[in-house]
Structure 1
């Protein structure tokens, strides 16, 4: 929580404001209390947005949805001002950890606690549905655990049951892995969508793992629609209760009262909220909140530290997260708040949205490719399309092309892409097909000034860029998984490969001859990075091995608090390597791995895609509520520069000049970033 600033109100309705819990694209969330000392989280629409009727209506719709639900299982709306002045909503302040925080801190729930959780959430969903609403975004971070049981929060995208789905312009379907298949596909949804989300939540609570996993967000969404949930870590007698909630067909999912009956908790199971380590955590947070409201009308004399408030008051910011759920205080550098930090916030330069979000992309699209004044993405369902980098207007489309096989910019400015296994060189400005000569491929691996390297079946193939003739074919030295994916990087006369099975190898680019191969470097595949005679790989450790013989030069174990299972892929820029270890962004010397600086990210990011380094900044993606967006950190010092909120998680980023292109599941956005 930060102290009130010069422009912040001191009072809203009956509430005396104490501090700022968070800020985002639409509004600000304050911590306050009434004359009786009752705490509240008050969300206020930013004054400069009050003229935007669309945003005002969305803000009011959230208030109406939350007000309509009468249930002990939701955060109650205490008061609201929807007409005249600045609109605001006051909600019950919930002092407790969210479900994902609790699982991370104390591990998966034991069976009695899981049954108590399931029964309580089923009752709450029944109450929500009884009012004619569908929550549409039930997930662990939207469930706060209090001394009176779990509470469901955030009605920002709740809709009436007869309302349309969320696939209107600029919106995408809910949180990957928790949204139902019909939501992912953009179809009309009913109350059964919330039941699917409940099933996914219970899998996470019971095992500490998501029901649907994948190498990237698009892969997770694909598994939701076409795959089977991962239930292997859950006892069989609980598996048969959770499984039906995750049925692909909404008609085959049970109703909340049936779930409540099936999970009937044993006598005394609800004591989990009042006894034990997690209950002690809840009580500590409640005590911290009470200190802020002990004397009615008292203003806190000094801003509590971020560390204290993250422990004591974090759930309050989640109750009514501003805008799309992004809060400015999450983008920190691990230091305590002070006057200098507040002054820096006043003077920093922010990015500007050039255009978007445009609903133009496929959930399985490769990263956006900026080239020749356009940016290329995979179209929904099939094909590729190019959009003007300055205006966002579509320049051309190729519905017959296969985006999932990849596309890249060739020397000379053409785009290399594939149609029905046939490669083409396309003019970026018009999409005109200039030539078609190469044999087919399954995955583009890498390219240097002379050659193109592709993965085809169980082979690695090399083609000459000038003549477009095949140079060599060799059996793949790395095992491929069922998706036949091999990541690669090329430098000098060496091609480094890393497969989805964790195998690594280096080939001579002149002949395809294997220089060395290892199968013990990592458990999962990451894109390698090359610097001089070193190959850098992220996974359970960040390590550098020699390009010449595969021997390890240095390695660094995990240190961050989030994403504990692996490092992100490494990104090399000059003599430095940048990688994300859980919630820690590192800059290290490539030669020996020595630390140059580290930056503590106050959000969960991805271990599948490494940080983007461009110009003066290192960019990291914030992928989980209450932080969604992109963070910019200064490349030379590791200091925070700015945070740009997004309404939905970013899959990929790319940059050209002063433009940063952000790709979510379906949306493409262009930012103009500070020089």
Structure 2
């Protein structure tokens, strides 16, 4: 393994995707950071380079206590890379199988903070498009949203078609399975499915074949048994089939903090620009 990249000393690989690897590293001041670099075989691939550039542009716009910060990066380097805030903790996808579902106030705080993270992303004019247990790092009951690899500016052209799945299939909104464009409401649906997983240890639309999971998503056949109130009611609202009927992420965060914000409940969002 190359030991240095962009002035950062690489300590070891901590994650790997289809086109890149993530390393724990030390910056010039000796602080821990995460360095995401293209795998050597993808360095000359235009689409991989464009995707990394889009990731930097999207994540660089977001400021949130619950989203990993972009610190640096250079797409034109010999081995293109981005430098991210290192977030200690465990991915939700690994935490729940090892220690069990989140319960009680811990679940409520987790759900609220994840909703704040998504709201902050949307306020920055960005769609995450892959909110899922593998992209949420948890320390205690504090989630941090990571991986903006397929994030996109809200309202920008998106290439989608029926049968093309972009993101983590079990947590996708139904309109994305049908080939529609992603919206803020799509991220909200994924928030609901991720929170349901945190509460139960089960993907709400089951496991098995991609076809079967997508069929249950399209039919609205979520298994929410074991998700406690008031979280369950908000999850159901956020999983409504029509994107225009889903609440905003900021509203969900407010509802989990106390009484629902006046005049902005889930039933009052139709026709108010939910698709952003």
Mapped to 2, the partners of 1:214 and 1:11 lie a distance apart of 40
| Secondary structure, aligned partner of 2:241 | coil
Q: Which residue does the alignment assign to 1:243?
A: 236
- 196-205 or 163-172: bigger deviation: 163-172
What pairs up with 1:591-606 in 2 under 5 angstroms?
Answer: none
Mapped to 2, the partners of 1:198 and 1:187 lie a distance apart of 18
Residues 211 and 48 of structure 1, relative CA distance in 2, 3 Å threshold: closer
Of structures 1 and 2, the larger Rg is shown by 1
What pairs up with 1:375-454 in 2 under 5 angstroms?
Answer: none
- The alignment's TM-score, normalised by the length of structure 2, stands at 0.85
| Secondary structure, aligned partner of 1:85 | coil
Residues 179 and 165 of structure 1, relative CA distance in 2, 3 Å threshold: farther
Residues 107 and 78 of structure 1, relative CA distance in 2, 3 Å threshold: same
Mapped to 1, the partners of 2:158 and 2:110 lie a distance apart of 28
* Residue ranges of structure 1 left out of the alignment (5+ in a row): 266-675
Give the one of 44, 56, 80 matched to 2:37: 44
Give the one of 6, 22, 42 matched to 1:13: 6
Mapped to 2, the partners of 1:26 and 1:81 lie a distance apart of 16
Residue 259 of structure 1, CA deviation? 0.5
Residues 169 and 179 of structure 1, relative CA distance in 2, 3 Å threshold: closer
| Secondary structure, aligned partner of 1:177 | helix
Q: Which residue does the alignment assign to 1:58?
A: 51
| Secondary structure, aligned partner of 2:171 | coil
Asked whether the equivalents of residues 177 and 220 of structure 1 are also in contact (C-alpha less than 8 Å), the reply is: yes
Q: Which residue does the alignment assign to 2:85?
A: 92
Asked whether the equivalents of residues 163 and 177 of structure 2 are also in contact (C-alpha less than 8 Å), the reply is: no
Asked whether the equivalents of residues 43 and 90 of structure 1 are also in contact (C-alpha less than 8 Å), the reply is: yes
Q: Which residue does the alignment assign to 1:129?
A: 122
More strand by share: 1
Mapped to 1, the partners of 2:215 and 2:161 lie a distance apart of 20
Give the one of 54, 60, 82 matched to 2:75: 82
Give the one of 150, 153, 156 matched to 1:157: 150
What pairs up with 1:613-628 in 2 under 5 angstroms?
Answer: none
Asked whether the equivalents of residues 214 and 220 of structure 1 are also in contact (C-alpha less than 8 Å), the reply is: yes
- The alignment's TM-score, normalised by the length of structure 1, stands at 0.36
Deviations 1:569-606 (A, max 9, x none): xxxxxxxxxxxxxxxxxxxxxxxxxxxxxxxxxxxxxx
What pairs up with 1:337-348 in 2 under 5 angstroms?
Answer: none
Residues 97 and 47 of structure 1, relative CA distance in 2, 3 Å threshold: closer
Residue 217 of structure 1 pairs with residue 210 of structure 2 = yes
Residue 254 of structure 1, CA deviation? 0.7
| Secondary structure, aligned partner of 1:16 | strand
Q: Which residue does the alignment assign to 1:230?
A: 223
Residues 164 and 27 of structure 1, relative CA distance in 2, 3 Å threshold: same
Give the one of 164, 188, 196 matched to 1:203: 196
What pairs up with 1:180-579 in 2 under 5 angstroms?
Answer: 180-213=173-206, 215-264=208-257
Mapped to 2, the partners of 1:253 and 1:213 lie a distance apart of 22
Mapped to 1, the partners of 2:227 and 2:132 lie a distance apart of 19
- Divergent runs of 4+, >4 A: 22-25, 168-171
| Secondary structure, aligned partner of 2:68 | coil
Mapped to 2, the partners of 1:138 and 1:260 lie a distance apart of 16
More helix by share: 2
The structure whose RCO (Cα within 8 Å, separation 6+) is larger is 2
Asked whether the equivalents of residues 165 and 183 of structure 1 are also in contact (C-alpha less than 8 Å), the reply is: no
Mapped to 1, the partners of 2:65 and 2:105 lie a distance apart of 21
| Secondary structure, aligned partner of 1:229 | coil
User: What is the root-mean-square deviation in Å for CA atoms of aligned residues?
Assistant: 2.2
Mapped to 2, the partners of 1:189 and 1:24 lie a distance apart of 22
Mapped to 2, the partners of 1:25 and 1:107 lie a distance apart of 29
Give the one of 103, 118, 131 matched to 2:96: 103
Mapped to 2, the partners of 1:18 and 1:34 lie a distance apart of 11
